[in-house]
Every structure is written in C-alpha cells, then in structure tokens.
Structure 1
Amino acid sequence: MGKNERLLADEDDAFATAARVKYYNIVIDSGQGAEITDVDGNAYIDLLASASATNTGHSHPHVVQAIQDQAAKLIQYTPAYFANTNGAELAPRLTALAPISGPTELAWGNSGSDANDAIIKFARAYTGRQYIVSFTGAYHGSTYGSLSLSAVSLNMSRKIAPLLPGIVKVPFPDPWQRLAGESEDAFVDRMFKAFTLPFETYLPAEEVAAVVIEPIQGDGGIIKAPDRYLRQVVDFAHDHGILFAIDEVNQGMGRTGKWWSIQNFPGLEPDLMSVGKSLASGLPLSAVIGRQEIMESLGAPAHVFTTAGNPVTAAAAMATIDVIEQEHLLDQSRILGEKAKAFFEAEQQKYPFIGDVRMYGLDGGIDIVDPETNAPDPVATTKLIYRVFELGAIIISLRGNVLRFQPPLVITEEQLNKAFVILAQAFSELAAGQLKLPANADQIGW
C-alpha cells in the first residue's frame, strides 16, 4: 500500500462524506506552477487549477515571498475591529479593478460562498425588497444563503430544507436547452420568455431585490450566456429597480482572458459582484464589491468576520494582482486559450463523442456525448478523465459529461502540449474501446 492509500485510509474514519466530491485517490503534497505532486511522488499536469483557485499557479515565488514576509510580521489581528496595512492597501486597488463605474466599495469575506451571501444581504437592505432571482445550473457556494441560490446538485438541497426563503430560480440558457434546428435568436427569445414568466404570473417585480447570475457558468458546465439574453435580463432588471449582481468567484481574476467574465459582454456593468478563489491565489479571502450607495445600506456588524481580509491573505492578494499584471496573464490566457480551442476542435472533427466545445481563454467546457443520440455520456466521460489521470494529468467532469479545462494561467506552452498529447491518447483509446471504468466509478463526480 502506498502513502496515498495509507493517508486516505487514516483520514476516512474522521472525514465527512459530504465534504469532498470524489475523483481520484491521491493526497496532494506539493505543487509548482502548473504541476502538482502527490505524497507518493507522482507528478501531474494540473488542468483544474484547484477549481480555478490558483490562476497564478502553485507556490508562485512572488506570492510565497509575500506570505512569508507578512507571516513573520503579523499573521492575524481581526479586521472586524481594526484595519491592517495590506488590507487597507488592497481595498482601493481591488475596487479600482472592478467593472463598475462611479464610487465603489467592498467588504471582505473568507470564501466565495459568504461573498454571495453578502450579495443577498446588501441587495435586500438597499432595495427594501425580499426576493432574489437566480438560475438553474448555478453554483454559488455552500453556506445556507449561497446554497439556496445554487441549483447544480440535488445533494446540495437534499435533507437540509428549509432553505433560505425568497429565492426564485429560472432556467439558465445553456446548450442543453436548445431545440434541434432552433436558431440562436429563437433560442434567446424562448429563454428570455422563461425568465419573465415568473414576473408575469406570481412574482411581483417591485418586490425583487436582485438577479444573481454567473455570466459564464462554472460548475454548470463552463457556459457563456448569449449576449442578447444577458442584455435583456439587465435591461429588465434595471427597468424594474432590480439590482444586477454577478458571481465572479470561478470565472474572475483573469480566467477568461479578461479580469472579469462580465467584460466578455461589452457595456454591461454589475451593481454588485462576488470575488474569491484566485483572489489570494487560493488562500481564504473573498470580497463583495458594489456601488457605494448599495454598500453603505448596511451598518456594522452586518457583515464582519474574524479573519476576513487578514494581513496574510491580503498580502497574498496584493502579490496575486502583481503577478497577473506583471506576467501579462490576461494575454497568456487568451493566447493559450486559442491554442487549446484549436486542439479540442481538431479532436472534435475526429471523434463524434466530442460534442460542444466552449473555450473562453484558458477556460473550457467540452461535452462528451453518445454519438448515436447526442445525449450526455457520463460513462464515457468518467472513463476519459480517469485515463487522463493515469497518464499524468488532472482533469475532472462537470454535470457528469463535461470536461472541465481550467489550467493555471501560468502553464507553459510545453506543459500545454504535453497535456494535449495525454488528452489525445485518451480520446483515441476511448474511440478504440480500450478504456474501462475504474472500480469506484459510481463514486466519481458531482
């Protein structure tokens, strides 16, 4: 038995099933750039970037140095009562990057989940309204508020009701909703009609505080909302005094080749937004950012946390922004994203089991389908991701049949090419009928 298996066996009796989505039986020990190594010394090209939480890669020297320097000075003094140097410098730097015109403020949190809880708090406080509209396929987090907004897994709501009241969900315009032969315009019109239906039948618009959306859904399958659809949603919201709020936890911090995914929709601005994951290169730091008048609608202590925005995480975030800017990672994401798109589209031409290919910078969702029916094929997907793992790369599935392609933005072209060789081999072996399900296939994935 290797060290991976021993550690996992030791952990098993003390670790709750609900706290991890299972994929591979490894214990990650170290990482550098776009490579991770398990406790048995096996190295993998990382195509997941810790769920898009390490966009600057693993143990980036500049981020490590910032953490070490700050830890030697002061690890923690609660920002709930007093400012700290790094947090005070980070706040104006981050609000200046936000895609929001006019005076903008933020409040710190520890995770994307509580940042999305904050959207609910501030939206309700500012508008005096109770209802929040969110979308099917959304993943906003695991605290009660963010979980109530989410709609990507039944296990997120099974056995723990009642969830937060006042949440109304509408269909997200994803590829699975499109009918055979349906034009883009007809699809958008139909999806927008589904969005407005609650407002026409049971949901008074004047009682709705906010619409919350991932402009590009993450765990829902890496899916960009159609431009015209999102513009119609924003116009409808603002016409009715409803705030437009976005979740940038997964898709922000350069992931799509822009600072924020909403910038893939020119001219659209949020009233509120949540940020987390890669904000501090994976350290526990999040923020809710919004227009000043909205952020001033609550008084302390409506949104304070003992450790949120502490000196070490703020130092890491300052260094993270440095790296993204100085190493031109937005450009890197766009350039290598085009290379990745070309690779997957070339493979799509070879294999009918590769369905839709969606790439937005180094941010991809690749559907694996039954060639006969074009229906999602989770069995083939599990075979593929496990074979990729065996060959030396880490990639996972979403929605059962979507390959999640989100490598660190610092991945080198050489590493990317190695990943393509691995993926191409797995595709070829699947086509030849050479792949089998792992023994624990029924436990793998969402």
Structure 2
Amino acid sequence: MTNFNKSAELLKEEATSFATAARVKYYDIVIDHGQGAVITDVDGNDYIDLLASASSTNTGHAHPKVAKAIAEQASKLIQYTPAYFANPNAAKLAPKLAALSPISGDVEVAWGNSGSDANDAIIKFSRAYTGRQYIVTFTGAYHGSTYGSMTMSSVSLNMTRKMGPMLPGIVKVPFPDPWEQEADETEQHFVDRMFSQFELPFETYLPAEEVAAIVIEPIQGDGGIIKVPDAYMQKLYAFAKEHGILFCVDEVNQGMGRTGKWWGIQNFPGVEPDLMSVGKSVASGMPLSAVIGRKEIMESLGAPGHLFTTAGNPVTTAASLATLEVMEEEHLVERSAELGQLAKDFFKQEAQEFDFIGNVRMYGLNGGIDIVDPSTGKGDSDATTMIMNRVFELGAIIISLRGSVLRFQPPLVITEEQLKQAFAILHQAFSEYQAGQLTMPTCHHMGW
C-alpha cells in the first residue's frame, strides 16, 4: 500500500508558513529526488513523470551531464553578478542561443531568471524600439507572474483578482480555440471568423500605428496545448509586417524540443519572430531565462534597462551549456517527434474506445487530451479530476489544464518502455472511469 506519512508531516509543517497563492493544488506529495522520467517522493513512492516539471525538465531529472556541470561550477564560483561582470559560461552560451534561435541576421540575448521576466523584456524592448505603447496578446495565454507578464496572461481570474490596476497598454484578443469552431464550420471559415475578431479592435479603438508588438504562444501551453491554425498564423504574421508591429513569440513552455522541433514557431514555415522568450528547460529547470531578438531591437535599450543580480550566473549558464549538449548528443528533438507519434497513436486509439475522450492534440511529446461529457461534448472537470487522481494512484503524475484537459508532457528522455507503462496506467484509469469505478478525491478542486 502506498505510504504518505513523511509527505503528510512535511506538508503540515509547511502549511503554517506557506502562502496559498504560491501553489496550484494537485497531489499531497513532497518530491525528494528523480532520475530520468521517474520521480520519487519522501515516502519512497515512484511515479512516471508525465509533466516534466511543467515542461522545465525536458532532459529529465538529474541528468548526469547537467548535474556534473552544476556541481563542478558550484565548486568554483556560484555567483558573481553578471549585471557588472561577465563569466565564461554566459559568454559561451549567449552566441550559442543566438545561433540556435529561429531569427535570421544579427541576434542578441539578454538574461533573466524566469520566463516571466523574459516576457516582461518583450514589453520593454518592443516599446523602446518602436516608440509605441500597446501590446496585443491572446485569451488563454499564460506568460508568467510578474506584473507585465501577468497582465499579458489570460488563463485564471486569480492572476488579476485583487491586484489591479494591471499594466496599462495591454490589449487581449480571442485566441482561435478549437472549442470555438462550430460543428458544421469549415477550417477556413473558422480562421476567417476568428481573424475578424482579432481585427475588430484595430477597426474600432486600437490604432495599428500605436501597437508595438503582438505576442503569441505558437502552441498555447496552459491554455490547453493548442496549436494556432496555420492559416490564422499566416494572416497574423502578415498583419504585423504590414503595420510595422513586432511579431513576438513565447517559447518558454513549448521551446527546447518540446514540439518535436527546437522551437514551437518552427511548426509554421516562413514565420520568423522579431523577439522570443525562452526559459524553463533552457537550463534543465535551473532559474535561467532569456529574451532573444534582432540586434537592432535589443540595442534599443541601454543598461540597466534589463538586468538582474543573479540572471545568467555561472551555475545556471553551466547547466544550460550542458543541456544544449544533451539535447544534441541524445537527439532529443528527434526523439520528441518519434515518441510523440507513439503517444498520438495511443490517445487516438483510446478516443475511439472511450466516448468521454474528445479532441486529442499532440505535437511531439506534448499533448492536450480533452475529457468531455459525451452527452454534451463539453469539458467535464469532475471526470478529469477522477481520471488524473487515479493515474496518480497507479503511479504516474499528470495534471489538468482548463479543468478538463489532460496535460501530457513527459521528459524527452523517457524510455519507450516507460512510455508504454504510462499508456497502460492511463488505459486502466480510462477503463475504470468508463465502468463507473472511480470517485472524486477528498480534495474536489484540483488544478487552476
């Protein structure tokens, strides 16, 4: 029988001094260690990780090469602020990331500590370069938890509730969600209709010549793992170019091989960002982020316009250099595409067997699986909670998005055997739900 004694004790101790706002509620475990695609809690229970620490450990847990790089650098120098002096690792990493980016011409990088401040940087640099104030973002987006990135986000009311006023000059437009497509509507009509909604502000109150940037997740992460329709993206890109608006992409969740390509935007041929934000897996989960962009844009601000005491420090950049080596040596981008196809085939087959599985979206080892009420076709949050809780009981970690979307993002190093074990766990949970054998967990509300 699974034991949770130590986890319960630690969580009780933590609860006396830990803020509710600082953690989204899921499972009552305390994670002690991990290796590859398996994590282990303080009670010794193992779990196949289907979340990869919110897509921040694409190289898996405690990868030997990454761990060695961190340890060796920590024994030499942990921190001396890159805000004043360079360090060898950051000096080597900047040109590597610039060359790896999907941006042509001269490219520059500025460091941060998280994806949140990288998205704040997009606001800063785009306003500085264009001399314009407005930033256009999309509903369903998650860009971070600093004031700028939080204002750009649109995934939870608790990211604005009681905290206003938010950053001025941010305008949100509808994201082309698949749930908005009508049953008898063609893809082209859907794209045209959604793009008309995008254009409406520009026709009524938002002067295009005063818009600095359009910021989009090419594949929306926390909004449900949703790829922008190709035709919509082309229209959006053309609109930005026509009006001198910077086209900016958030690659924090979907970058670093997650989609079967280095960057999510590379799923859209011919579309090239002016600025992009990178974080999470860029240093295998160590606190490092970057804004990457065309040189002339990045040179529009002078110091200290975007710098932080610890951003780009020797340890985090050592981790990132090792991460890039692992990604290349183990062909993790290609591995994401190959194993992602296995996952896509599995979930498509499950959808044929179980009528409560709706749309399946899979791009590399990166998927959103809708759990629906078969009688209405609408998302079923209770069913999702019961299923993911049963998956947890059976030995795997998976969470939900939007209340009724299963988030499937295992580390890219997951073995085929572990993947198949995860499939068996998921199939069992689906079967037991179909048979009416699952009940709601004690904590009914789980997730965002």
Coarse TM-score class (shorter-chain normalised): over 0.9
1:77 aligns with 2:70: no
The one-letter code matched in structure 2 to 1:225 is: V
TM-score scaled to structure 2, two decimals?
A: 0.99
Number of matched pairs: 445
Residue in 2 that maps onto 1:197: 200
What is the Cα deviation at residue 441 of structure 1? 1.3
Q: Which amino acid aligns with 1:234?
A: Y
Q: Secondary structure at the match of 2:75?
A: helix
Q: Does 1:380 align with 2:399?
A: no
SS in 1 for 2:400: strand
Name the residue aligned to 1:422: 425
Structural RMSD (CA) = 0.5
Amino acid at match of 1:295: M
Q: Distance in 2 between matches of 1:359 and 1:60?
A: 25
CA distance in 1, matches of 2:66, 2:184: 50
Give 5+ residue unaligned stretches, structure 1: none
Verify: 1:334 aligned to 2:337, yes or no: yes
The CA distance in 2 between the partners of 1:199 and 1:252, in whole Å, is: 30
Deviations 1:43-63 (A, max 9, x none): 000000000000000000000
1:389 offset after TM fit, Å? 0.1
In structure 1, the partner of 2:8 is 5
**Residue among 320, 324, 329 paired with 2:323:** 320
Question: What do the CA deviations read for 1:147-174 (whole angstroms, capped 9, x no partner)?
Answer: 0000000000000000000000000001
**Equivalent of 1:357 in 357, 360, 363:** 360
**Map of 1:94 onto structure 2:** 97
Residue number among 292, 298, 303 corresponding to 1:300 in the alignment: 303
Task: Give the corresponding residue for 1:182.
Answer: 185
* Separation (CA, whole Å) in 2 of partners of 1:22 and 1:379: 15
CA positional deviation for 1:134: 0.1
Task: Give 1:176 shift.
Answer: 1.2
Report the secondary structure of 1:441's partner residue.
coil
C-alpha deviation, 1:314, in angstroms: 0.2
The aligned residue for residue 345 of structure 1 is 348
1:438 maps to which of 441, 444, 447: 441
Q: Which amino acid is the alignment partner of residue 441 of structure 1?
A: H
Q: CA deviation at 1:13?
A: 1.0
The CA distance in 2 between the partners of 1:294 and 1:274, in whole Å, is 14
Q: Secondary structure at the match of 1:73?
A: coil
CA distance in 1 between counterparts of 2:408 and 2:237 reads 29
The Cα offsets for residues 373-395 of structure 1, whole Å up to 9 and x where unpaired, read as 00110000000000000000000
Q: Which of residues 26, 31, 44 is equivalent to 1:28?
A: 31
Identity among equivalent pairs (%):
73
Q: Which of the numbers 245, 253, 257 marks the counterpart of 2:256? A: 253
Query: C-alpha displacement at 1:267, in angstroms?
Result: 1.0
Runs of 4+ in structure 1 over 2 Å off: none
Query: In the alignment, which of 148, 152, 167 is matched to residue 151 of structure 2?
Result: 148
Deviations, residues 75-111 of structure 1 (Å, cap 9, x unaligned):
0000000000000000000100000000000100000
Give distance in 2, aligned partners of 1:259 and 1:180: 34
Q: Structure 1 residue 217 and structure 2 residue 220: aligned?
A: yes
Distance 2:136 2:181 in 1: 22
Pick from 106, 110, 113 the counterpart of residue 109 of structure 2: 106
Looking at structure 2, the residues matched to 291 and 228 of structure 1 have their Cα atoms a distance apart, in angstroms, of 25
Aligned-pair CA distance for 1:177: 1.0
Q: Per-residue deviation at 1:331? A: 1.0
Q: Distance in 2 between matches of 1:290 and 1:426?
A: 44
Q: Secondary structure at the match of 2:132?
A: coil
Distance in 1 between residues matched to 2:164 and 2:236, nearest whole Å: 29
Q: Which runs of 5+ in 2 are unaligned?
A: none
Letter in 2 for 1:411: I
SS at 1:132 equivalent: strand
Structure 1 residue 418: Cα displacement: 0.3
- 1:179: how far off? 1.1
Task: Give 1:56's aligned residue.
Answer: 59
Alignment partners' CA distance in 1, 2:258 and 2:292: 18
Q: Distance in 2 between matches of 1:375 and 1:50?
A: 28
Return the offset for 1:410: 0.1
Following superposition, the deviation at residue 2 of structure 1 comes to 0.3
Question: One-letter code of the match for 1:79?
Answer: P
What displacement does 1:42 show? 0.2
- What amino acid maps onto 2:267 in structure 1? N
Between the aligned partners of 1:86 and 1:426, the Cα distance in structure 2 is: 45
Q: Is 1:137 aligned to residue 153 of structure 2?
A: no
1:233-266 CA deviation, whole Å, 9 max, x = no partner? Answer: 0110110010000000000000001100000001
Matched to 1:344, the amino acid is F
How far off its partner does 1:411 sit? Answer: 0.0
Whole-angstrom CA distance in 2 between matches of 1:135 and 1:371: 29
- 2:128 pairs with 1:125: yes
